[in-house]
Amino acid sequence: MELEKLQDKGIDQKDFFIKKIKKEIEDIFVERYRNLGKGISGLTKSFFIDLEIFKKLLKDNQNKKYCKFYYIQKDTSLNIGICFSDNYQCTIKEKEDKLYNLLGETIPDENFIKMKNDFENGLADKLSPYTNKIKDVLTFYTLEDIQTYFETIKNSHPNITINGLKFNMWQYCPTNIDSRLSAEFIKRNNRISFCVHALFNKKNDLYDEGDAYDLGNLMP
């Protein structure tokens, strides 16, 4: 995303990063992604991270500027790896970037890079005809943006304990349901990304879900 263009349209960077997405829009984007899965096997529909694990990773890496969610391929399935870095580019800086899985476990540089390359040469190749020939590699945002998101969720749900975050994969397309973001959705047409839901009120491994929020910049 080109932040300057967003600001020119009157959309502040932080406002977009914590922008609530209407359910009607999420349903459209999620359905488009899941339709891709009818012809491409291995497209995982959603991911989960425990909130305490994620907050510990944020605390341990508070000296880094960016949190990057890379699309990686484990065996034949889409997965997500977390990278804390001082750069937002697609390249992983070995021995500088801190790399983890969604369980909060460290991934050795060479293993992470292999899974990243496996995705780019595997599932991303298969997706390319449906994504404007662009191979989406990651979604990133600053640690400050993440803190703003947490504050927004806390203010929205002051009396509950958030247990985790659920990421729903989706594919963008034009829609006028939210006119304020319609131009951005046009620019992102066919790109692959995700929205995030806060999960709370855990009972027998089931959760209530908060609203969908759209976070982060797409790369490349």
Predicted local distance difference test score (pLDDT) of residue 184: 87
Classify 204 as helix, strand or coil.
coil
Predicted local distance difference test score (pLDDT) of residue 6: 41
pLDDT 10s digits, 109-161:
999 999 999 999 999 999 999 999 999 999 998 999 899 889 988 888 888 88
Structural tokens at position 165: 């975050």
Predicted local distance difference test score (pLDDT) of residue 17: 47
The DSSP symbol for 22 reads: P
Rg, the chain, Cα only: 17
pLDDT 10s digits, 22-53:
999 999 999 999 999 999 999 999 999 999 99
CB–CB of 86/141 below 8 Å? no
Predicted local distance difference test score (pLDDT) of residue 97: 98
Strand 192-203 vs strand 206-214: parallel, antiparallel, or unpaired?
A: antiparallel
Distance set, CA 84 to CA 12, 94, 97, 98, 115 (Å) = 24, 12, 6, 5, 17
Per-residue confidence band for 199, with pLDDT thresholds at 50, 70 and 90: very high
Neighbouring residues of 49: CB distance < 8 A, sequence distance ≥ 6: 102, 104, 164, 165, 167
pLDDT 10s digits, 1-28:
344 444 444 444 444 444 789 999 999 9
pLDDT 10s digits, 164-188:
999 999 999 999 999 988 988 999 9
**How many CB atoms are located within 10 Å of the residue 47 CB?**
17
Predicted local distance difference test score (pLDDT) of residue 152: 87
Predicted local distance difference test score (pLDDT) of residue 76: 96
Per-residue confidence band for 196, with pLDDT thresholds at 50, 70 and 90: very high
Distance set, CA 62 to CA 51, 55, 66, 95, 129 (Å) = 16, 10, 9, 17, 38
Structural tokens at position 81: 């790896």
Predicted local distance difference test score (pLDDT) of residue 215: 56
Domain residue spans of the chain:
3-219
Q: Report the alpha-carbon distance of residue 95 to residue 101 in Å, rounded.
A: 17
